[in-house]
A and B are shown apart, each in its own frame.
Chain A
Amino acid sequence: MIINAIAEIFPTLMKGIGITIQVLIGSIILGYLMAFIAGFCRLSKNPVIKIITTFYVEVFRGTSLIVQLFWLFYALPILFGIDLGSDYLAGVLAIALNYGAYMSEVVRGSILSVAKGQTEAATALNMSSFQRMRLVIFPQAVRMMLPEFGNYLIQMLKATSLVSLIGMTDILYYGDILRSSNLSQAPTVYFLVLVFYFIMALPLIWLTRKMEAASKKGVAS
């Protein structure tokens, strides 16, 4: 009987997997991009850039993702007259801006924690400040960022489940439909949804371990 139920539920949930993965990939790309942009801007010497970035980071870290998602979904079209056009954009934007803010702190912290002697050695070799960053500081900082960046991959995967709340047809959305059509199936449905997410998380967990291992190599002792 359980097998029958699974056979019935499984294909329906599969329909949502495409959206979940699309939102995840969009969020990862845009999120990392925001992390680097905001991370570098916070290190900028220009006070205006610094204040604006700090404001962005603190607002997105200080409020919750689900609130940001609803806000972007409902408020942005009203406030700025921008029709985000699709839920996809609102969903990806919310996740990317939220985790981008968190990860920008990782970027900033890693760059600042590259040993000062490295900058000095690069200066002694007459490198320009841009060369120092590109050849010496950044490659070392990236290695330090890797483990945390890996962890945030899994956080972002989990966060994609929220987009069902703004009507996107992801895995959880189809799970909710199945549940409302047959409440007695709910345990199997939600357990399967969880399993779906876990299976998607496995490669990310594996990747995180790899990133942790990679970061242990080649950092100044």
Chain B
Amino acid sequence: MNSGNWQWDTFFEAFPVVVEGLGITLGLTIATYVFALIFGFVWTLLNAIRIKPIKWLFRWIMEFIRSTPPLVQLFFIFYAWPMVPVVGFALDPFTSAILGLGVHFSTYIGEVYRSGIEAVDKGQWEAARALNFSTGQKWTKIILPQAVPPTIPMLGNYLIIMFKEIPLASTIGVAGILNLANSYGSANFRYLEPLTIVALLFLVLSYPSAILINKLERRMNRRFDKKEQTGSKPLKEEKEGAAS
């Protein structure tokens, strides 16, 4: 490996090369995210199955996908899936990444949906029944309008989390920023500058998004009259202390 300190020349030379991959990285992020959002529903629906053994089976499959490394799942889709007898077929790196990472994160997204629905107060279901709504009306008029908004910040968080997992796809040859930085590195024996550029790009894109989502979350909480943190009783006390 080449030694020597930070070189600005290399930095400026590598910059356009690395930035070239930004479109792919962002495109893959969006595609994978959309896939996970849709596939997440599948888990939520499977979870609603009332037949115990089937429900149990899917919970374990979900747990399996969730607690094993996405990198290995990615390799499975890319290298192993074409070799699976009968059903297997070859996939290009980009599609493999969407599937491999998308399925992994859909298990988390599914949980977000579930928590949203479960967070709706039990009284709301009872009220819907008492007012004699049909099943369809119950969901569209009562449950979903309350279940969806609180999940939006959580889903936003997962977008950022997934964005940061997307460079895993460079390992199967998706030419995103990390992949291009590594190729630049191996061609020029300089890894420091291109990798720093990748880090900077991630920081510049994810940090403001995180702040944005944080703001969104606070606004949601206020709208739905939730406390910002658990144990907020002291807040009330503080006010009383100040006032009485």
Contacts and interface: CB of A to CB of B under 8 A. Distances in A.
Given A66-B167, A70-B182, A194-B76, A201 B67 contact: yes
Interface stretch (A29-37, A41-49, A184-192): A184-192
Given A63-B203, A78-B192, A187-B83, A194 B68 contact: yes
Contact of B1 (A77, A115, A220): A77
B4 A78 contact: yes
Given A74-B195, A77-B1, A190-B76, A62 B210 contact: yes
Contacts of A205: 63, 67
B96 interface: no
Residue of A59, A62, A161, A165 with most partner-chain B CB within 10 A: A62
A190 B206 contact: no
Interface in B157-203: 163-168, 170-171, 178, 182, 185, 191-192, 195-196, 198-199, 202-203
Given A74-B1, A75-B191, A186 B83 contact: yes
Given A58-B207, A62-B207, A78-B4, A190 B195 contact: no
B72 A194 contact: yes
B97 to A, nearest CB: 13
Contact of B5 (A78, A157, A184): A78
B230 A113 contact: yes
B202 A64 contact: yes
Nearest to A164: B71
A116 B237 CA distance: 8
B8 interface: no
B1 A78 contact: yes
Interface residues of B, number: 54
Contact of A161 (B64, B72, B88, B199): B72
Residue of A75, A114, A198, A204 with most partner-chain B CB within 10 A: A75
B203 to A, nearest CB: 4
- Interface residue tally on A, bucketed by range: 35 or more
Contact of B195 (A71, A114, A176): A71
The SS class assigned to the B binding surface is helix
A75 B192 contact: yes
Contact of A201 (B68, B88, B164): B68
A117 B229 CA distance: 15
B79 A183 contact: yes
B56 to A, nearest CB: 15
A47 to B, nearest CB: 21
A170 B25 CA distance: 28
A175 B207 contact: no
A114 B232 CA distance: 9
Contact of A115 (B3, B164, B231): B231
A193 interface: yes
B206 A198 contact: no
Contacts of B64: 194, 198
B234 interface: yes
A71 to B, nearest CB: 5
A175 B164 contact: no
Contact of B68 (A64, A158, A176, A185): A158
B65 to A, nearest CB: 9
B195 A193 contact: no
Given A63-B203, A113-B231, A158-B70, A179 B79 contact: yes
Contact of A116 (B66, B69, B210, B238): B238
A201 B63 CA distance: 10
A181 to B, nearest CB: 12
A160 B72 CA distance: 11
Interface of B: 1-6, 63-64, 66-73, 75-76, 79-81, 83-84, 88, 163-168, 170-171, 178, 182, 185, 191-192, 195-196, 198-199, 202-203, 206-207, 210, 229-231, 233-235, 237-238
Given A165-B171, A172-B71, A187-B76, 7 more contacts: A62-B207, A63-B198, A64-B167, A74-B185, A116-B235, A172-B72, A187-B80
Interface of A: 58-59, 61-68, 70-71, 74-75, 77-79, 109, 112-117, 144, 154, 157-162, 165, 172, 175-176, 179, 183-187, 189-191, 193-194, 197-198, 201, 204-205, 219-220
Chain A to chain B: the 7 pairs with minimum beta-carbon distance, closest first: A116-B234, A74-B191, A161-B69, A64-B164, A201-B67, A186-B80, A190-B76
